[in-house]
Amino acid sequence: MTATEEDARRIFGRRAASYTTSATHSDPLVLARVVELAECAESARALDVGTGTGHTALALAPHVALVVGLDLTPEMLAQAAELRRRQGIVNVAFEIGDVHDLAFPDDGFDIVTCRRAAHHFSDVRRAVAEMARVLKPGGRLVVDDRSVPDDDFVDATMNHLDKLHDPSHVREYRAGEWREMLEGAGLLVDVVEPYRQRRPLSSLTDDVPAADRDEIERIIGGLTLEQRDAAGVDEDSTGLHTDHWYVLARARRFSS
């Protein structure tokens, strides 16, 4: 396990409880779209990589035979197991594991999902190759992750802010980068859907050491009007808000 993954396990172990109730991670509209793109079948086996507290795995569960939810962090999986118990779901198994070295045979799953996790992977191309490897021919890989637009300033700024928010952050990739990575793993990409959400600045500054919080606020406060517009920064009666970019992508493994 690399230092990046060790950082992720430590940070998410401390923050695990907050992800159970996180509005962005439990967003029903995005979860429904992930399930739709997965093209579930009653006989399907699904793998949810970076499952966290299990929202995606549990959303898939009613539509498939079995879901395996995989994550590095025991505390996150403990929260996921409790959420599973409360929802009365019995066809989801949670396991500790690393996407860079999946302990599953080739061609083992009809569906692989990876939601809000890939920007933490230390070697995202290796991770994508592993997810493609465990897909059956004709299987679907569905990715939903933080992203950045095709704007060099916003790309650099948002990635820097997220690194200050979470030292295990590696990179939020542009939609075009996702297409290239998925195709590079030998997959056929048929859906790429960028989207944006408005988030309060507190989503970047909560539970962050004081020095890093101050630096985030300094960077936002120092933006020019043009830069604020590009980054979607504005203020209303509830405080400062910024745009957060995301991308949904689906890729298929070629049938034999």
- At 179-232, the pLDDT tens digits run 999 999 999 999 999 999 999 999 999 989 999 999 999 999 999 999 999 999
Q: How many domains does the chain have?
A: 1
Whole-structure pTM value: 0.94
Cβ-contact 41, 101 below 8 angstroms: no
Please report whether residue 156 resides in a domain: no
Output the pLDDT for position 13: 61
Please report whether residue 183 resides in a domain: yes
Helix (H) / strand (E) element for 129: namely helix 124-133
Please report whether residue 225 resides in a domain: no
pLDDT band at 142 (very low <50, low <70, confident <90, very high): very high
- At 25-63, the pLDDT tens digits run 878 999 999 999 999 999 999 999 999 999 999 999 999
Q: What is the CATH number of the domain that holds 50?
A: 3.40.50.150
Output the pLDDT for position 256: 59
Please report whether residue 95 resides in a domain: yes
> What is the chain's mean pLDDT, rounded?
94
Residue among 58, 89, 68, 77 nearest 17 (CA) = 77
Output the pLDDT for position 2: 72
Q: Give the range of the structural domain holding residue 46, as residue numbers without chain letter.
A: 3-149+168-198+245-253
Please report whether residue 223 resides in a domain: no
Please report whether residue 233 resides in a domain: no
- At 154-173, the pLDDT tens digits run 999 999 999 999 999 999 99
